[in-house]
Structure 1
Amino acid sequence: MYLLATALEIDAREICSEIYGIQDPNMTDRFNLAAEDSVKAIKEERVKEIFLNRICPTITKFDKKDMPVVDDLLRDFYQLPDTERAEMLEHIAVSLKYHADPERVKETHSVN
């Protein structure tokens, strides 16, 4: 219900009272908290899915000797503010447009 209420931009209590006849504000507050926990769990599951199905398979494409560099890149990218991250991504997009390795492109497209 929380997701539906959010999509409709209405208070979840309205749906609860209409569908379930719930009038107790404490009950709908508990319902909203449970729904928010569900949304959080869905987001966390999506992060795990991306990590396991995309990031891990991509990282395994690197040679062992490149792992310290990959680690440094991830750590450094994390430390940048959002504006700098956006600039880095733009730079990478331009570089890929002109200099992408066709074999590596093919390999990365095989990852989910």
Structure 2
Amino acid sequence: IGAGAGAAIGSTSGNAGTGALIGAGVGAVSGALIGNAIQANEQRQVAPPPPPPVSVAPPPHTLTARDIKAERVHAHTVYTNEIKAERVQGRVITVGRMAHRE
């Protein structure tokens, strides 16, 4: 509510000057409150959103292959004819030969 609206309200009651003063005061307070709110929003620093969570897929339960040549093999059970690996994690069932490098 500004001074003009206060004067219009005051003129209907015969107190245009008082209405203008009240209207000006209310307008100034409203303007100050709105200005402070805008300034607070401008000064507020917004943190970037956190990175998405990283989920690691579990090793497969069973791995079946004719030949495996790898640095690492991870599975609960490995069925193979031949395996050559630096590191094997899990149970290995071979049908053919097995060479485990150490």
**TM-score, normalised by the number of residues in structure 2:** 0.34
Q: Which is higher, the Rg of structure 1 or of structure 2? A: 2
Higher helix share: 1
More strand by share: 2
TM-score, length of structure 1 as denominator length? 0.32
Larger relative CO (CA 8 A, sep 6+): 1 or 2?
1
